Amino acid sequence: MKRNYIPRFVLNYTVYAFLFMGAAVLVGRAAFTGGLSGDGAALTAGVPESPPPQIVIDPGHGGEDGGATVGDTLEKDLNLQIAGCLNDMYTLFGIRSEMTRTEDVMLYDRFDDLEDYRGKKKSYDLRSRLRLAEESGAALYVGVHMNKFPQESSKGLQVYYSPNTDESARAAQITQSYAKKYLDPANERETKQATSAIYILKRIRIPAVLVECGFLSNAEERALLETPEYRLKVAAVLFASTGEYLQVQEKGR
Ligand SMILES: [Zn+2]
């Protein structure tokens, strides 16, 4: 199947450094003895075959819903590319992961009992993602998005977390601190608890974070996000931080 993100072989030295950082976090830890996640196929409705994924990755938007748009840059594409890289990294390190979508589509028609979606595509799309995530039985949901703000100076990766579980705040904290340490030391953003404006995080019952990877409205950050190297760096940061989260959770058991 054609994948829409960067081939594995474009890894440059910088990105290798990030991968090794992730490897340093993960290698040798007994928490990750699960098998490979297979072909990275999108989640389908219904109960997944056991064992459940450890992580469910949700690339925001898709299809008719482009998400934040600036010029030719569409949020939905960047989300999918970063999510795909992230999924590959999990697979490489034996962490079971699934994606809600692997193609440029909305997900409003995934469930038979939601057939009449005319005029409700966006809300059914979000409801489907929520259901896919919860029915996956994953230990963590990671939503991948891009930000856009009228004030062009706003920039920096920002992590939101679900108000429904303490683990969500913990996972967000780790990711936000990794972003500061490895992506941009000048990023002073702090994690934010999701309000009802973030449909999935507000309702989801499994631990969940949503990562706004950067601001498309900031020319400098948009230029970075348009390069495969920077997207791989972002994916590596998400990989290492969520891996750290899983490891901490495993230890606490
Ligand atoms: Zn978005």
Using DSSP, state whether 67 is helix, strand or coil.
coil
In a domain, 55, yes or no: yes
CA of 60 to the centre of ligand 1 (A): 5
pLDDT at 51: 84
The dihedrals phi and psi of 70, each to the nearest 5 degrees, come to -135, 115
Per-residue confidence (pLDDT) for residue 44, from 0 to 100: 66
Centroid of ligand 1 to alpha carbon of 34 (angstroms): 31
Residues of the chain with pLDDT under 50: 1-12, 26-39
Looking at the domain assignment, is residue 247 inside a domain? yes
Predicted local confidence at residue 111, as pLDDT: 79
Residue 250 has a pLDDT of 82
**Number of domains comprising the chain:** 1
206 CA distance to ligand 1 middle (Å): 20
What's the CA-to-centroid distance between 1 and ligand 1, angstroms? 25
4 within domain boundaries: no
79 CA from centroid of ligand 1 (Å): 8
Max CA-CA distance within the chain? Answer: 50
CATH number, domain containing residue 213:
3.40.630.40
Q: Three-class SS of residue 228? A: helix
pLDDT of residue 248: 86
Look up residue 161 and give its amino acid: Y
Cβ-based burial of 52 (10 A; exposed 0-12, middle 13-18, buried ≥19): middle
Residue 142, domain member (yes or no)? yes
Is position 3 within any domain?
no
76 Cα to the center of ligand 1, angstroms: 7
Burial state string for 196-210 with b = 16 or more CB within 10 A and e = fewer than 16:
eebbbbbbbebbbbb
C-alpha distances out from residue 152 to 156, 217, 218, 221, Å: 12, 5, 5, 10
Return the DSSP state at 226. T
Residue 169 lies in a domain: yes
For ligand 1, a single-atom ion, which residues have Cβ within 5 Å?
Answer: 60, 67, 145
In a domain, 7, yes or no: no
Q: For residue 75, report the distance from its CA to the centre of ligand 1, in Å.
A: 7
Q: Quote the tokens at residue 212.
A: 């706004």
Give the domain extent around 37.
12-251
Half-sphere CA count of 244, side-chain side, radius 13 A: 19
Instruction: Assess if residue 126 is contained within a domain.
Output: yes
